[in-house]
Structure 1
């Protein structure tokens, strides 16, 4: 893990952790591992802002003949890969609440069965070339609920771009069910 600490702002930048990325992508079939790099940035610790700036390559669609552009299925797969990585890095590096109290074991046990998309909205402004493009995922708000059905709610925004002006964006609400309870 490489960390660059910005002295004047309190911001933290974490470059791609290849071992963590490989672990996050392990459940995906080899031809669906689109996420290549992920740089995580946290603004001042007190504001809870967290973002991942990522690069992707889709040499061949996993389900359809080549259209030459990024589509809604790939939008969702890439979003999931960014979200899984950002949550895993938040846990590993204790970046924001409530993930700073989770262990990596807690994360791995919940990655597939408990991280769910509750609301998904996407807009395609202009075609994004699927061969090589960038994506950004930002946690807008993270809320932990307790009670009979504890959960973590994460409001996010995301954006995809390429070097030719392609652009797609979205807003997604994640729900993590069965979060670990800590005394």
Structure 2
């Protein structure tokens, strides 16, 4: 069994993570910043463990359940954070050669969803729940149109047995040249 390292380990790291989380969520409207905590685990794959709160939907009257739009918004917030953390801490290739300026320049215009699959196994409440995101495979393509392709799996659950999961392929266009 491979040992896993959980980041961060001390109080100053926790504060730095809060600052990073706030910066990652800055493009979102205040009432749409659903990601509340994020903890990264590095083992065979890079995994984010997160908590969320959706006090009220940002786009529709209360449905009483976690739905596909909220699934996608929460996924985006986890993915943005995990990429930012990977760049900040030089956790995995290719992000170990990125600067934070490289990340901030690309966060919105260059991180794209190429394929999105979600499954709602048991109805979930959206008020408070947890989620995970794992980067299961990362491929770099060079040439005229360099890309970073990230295959991911994610899941959400609430305290009442609700569960949803998915598989998403991200593509990062215009990645910085390796240093």
**TM-score, reference length from structure 2:** 0.93
Q: 2:164 aligns with which of 139, 156, 168?
A: 168
Q: 2:129 aligns with which of 126, 130, 133?
A: 133
Q: Does 1:58 align with 2:54?
A: yes
Counterpart Cα distance in 2 of 1:88 and 1:66 = 32
Q: 1:70 aligns with which of 66, 72, 96?
A: 66
Corresponding residue pairs, total: 172
After superposition, give the CA deviation of every residue in 1:90-124 in whole Å (9 maximum; x if it has no partner). 00000000000000000000000000000000000
In structure 2, the residue corresponding to 1:100 is in which secondary structure? helix
Counterpart Cα distance in 2 of 1:54 and 1:126 = 19
**TM-score, reference length from structure 1:** 0.91
- Partner residue in 2 for 1:42: 42
The answer to whether the 8 A contact 2:138-2:151 is kept is: yes
Counterpart Cα distance in 2 of 1:155 and 1:28 = 24
Gaps of 5+ in 1: 1-7
In structure 2, the residue corresponding to 1:139 is in which secondary structure? strand
Q: Does 1:112 align with 2:105?
A: no
Q: What is the alpha-carbon root mean square deviation over aligned residues?
A: 1.2
The answer to whether the 8 A contact 2:87-2:103 is kept is: yes
Counterpart Cα distance in 2 of 1:68 and 1:132 = 12
Counterpart Cα distance in 1 of 2:67 and 2:84 = 26
Displacement of 1:180: 0.2
- Partner residue in 2 for 1:3: none
Displacement of 1:33: 0.1
Displacement of 1:69: 1.0
Displacement of 1:13: 0.9
Gaps of 5+ in 2: 9-13
- Partner residue in 2 for 1:13: 6
- Partner residue in 2 for 1:25: 25
Q: Does 1:156 align with 2:152?
A: yes
After superposition, give the CA deviation of every residue in 1:142-167 in whole Å (9 maximum; x if it has no partner). 11110010000000000000000000
Displacement of 1:9: 5.2
Counterpart Cα distance in 2 of 1:174 and 1:83 = 9
The answer to whether the 8 A contact 2:94-2:178 is kept is: no
In structure 1, the residue corresponding to 2:168 is in which secondary structure? strand
